[in-house]
Amino acid sequence: MKMSLSTLQKMAESHEKIAILTCYDATFAAVLESAGVDALLVGDSLGNVLHGNTTTLAVTLRDMIYHTRCVAQGASNAFIIADMPFGSYQKSPEQAFENAAALIAAGAQMVKIEGGHLMADTVRFLAQRGIPVCAHIGLTPQSIHQLGGYKLQGNNDKAAKQLSDDAKALEKSGASLLVLEMIPAKLAKKITQSLAIPTIGIGAGPDCAGQVLVLHDMLGISQGKKPRFVKDFMANSNSIQEAISHYVNTVKTGQFPGKEHQF
């Protein structure tokens, strides 16, 4: 049966962890969902792992539409979330709606946008017009030049309060999911407990409602330095299918992320 937003909400309410991976093509979409992955994120991380760039900034709406279509073609059951790429939603809520609608038409069931309370009006505009929104705070790769590097966010009282306030504002404006990237586990737990919507962690400890990783990272085939929060699930597996099942099982049982993967 096709996963819906309400299935994900019910999973969070019943404390079943949500297992998400990024996905960019039809073959992997089928493999991932048959291994039990609940939702597929067509991430703009494709700029890194498919295009070979050091940032996600050059990914276009056209790229995202193409890969969303490929994933939708291969997935019969998994919920599909598509990233809105840099420059496709920051100008105005109207711009965001037009571009989000194109991703929904390509097969996405939800769009993801990066940013805190300043994105609240855009989230509201989309949600009120029938487009479910996943917000994304903490380390937001599209702001890499402003953040000054891929580093831990929310690690002092002021920054932690700002993230907690952002999370509340995004929920209030109608976001249905919230990605928390690279923040202290204690802060992610506090934010998760303060919200009714599910949080999805990446480098945010074990207490989020679900987890997400970049597919190529968890298969151990990404180039460059492996972030602390990534586990190579291929290391002890005989096949890609086995590695993905292992990821799903360890997320569901709360074994991943372990202490060594958190901040």
Question: What is the binding site for ligand KIV (CB under 6 A)?
Answer: 22, 41, 43-45, 83, 179, 181, 202, 212, 214
| H/E stretch holding 136 | strand 133-138
Q: What sign has the CA pseudo-torsion 33, 39, 44, 49?
A: negative
Shorter beta-carbon distance to ligand KIV: residue 44 or 63: 44
Residue by residue, DSSP assigns 202-238 as ESS-TTSSEEEE-HHHHTT---SPPPTT---TTTT-S
Q: State the Cα–Cα distance between residues 196 and 159, nearest whole angstrom.
A: 22
Nearest residue to ligand KIV on Cβ basis: 43
Long-range contacts of 118-121 (CB under 8 A, 24+ apart): 119/170, 120/169, 120/170, 120/172, 120/173, 121/93, 121/173
Shorter beta-carbon distance to ligand KIV: residue 179 or 208: 179
Please identify every residue annotated as catalytic.
181
Shorter beta-carbon distance to ligand KIV: residue 41 or 123: 41
- The minimum distance between CB 190 and ligand KIV, in angstroms, equals 20
- The minimum distance between CB 238 and ligand KIV, in angstroms, equals 26
- The minimum distance between CB 175 and ligand KIV, in angstroms, equals 14
Tell me whether the omega of the peptide bond preceding residue 257 falls within 30 degrees of 0, making it cis: yes
Shorter beta-carbon distance to ligand KIV: residue 14 or 188: 188
Residue type, 102: A
Q: Which pair of tokens denotes residue 138?
A: 């903490």
* DSSP conformation class of 85: P
- The minimum distance between CB 181 and ligand KIV, in angstroms, equals 6
Shorter beta-carbon distance to ligand KIV: residue 102 or 214: 214
- The minimum distance between CB 202 and ligand KIV, in angstroms, equals 5
Other CB atoms within 10 A of residue 225 CB: 8
CA 176 to each of CA 14, 115, 256: distance values in angstroms, whole numbers, following the listed order: 17, 15, 23
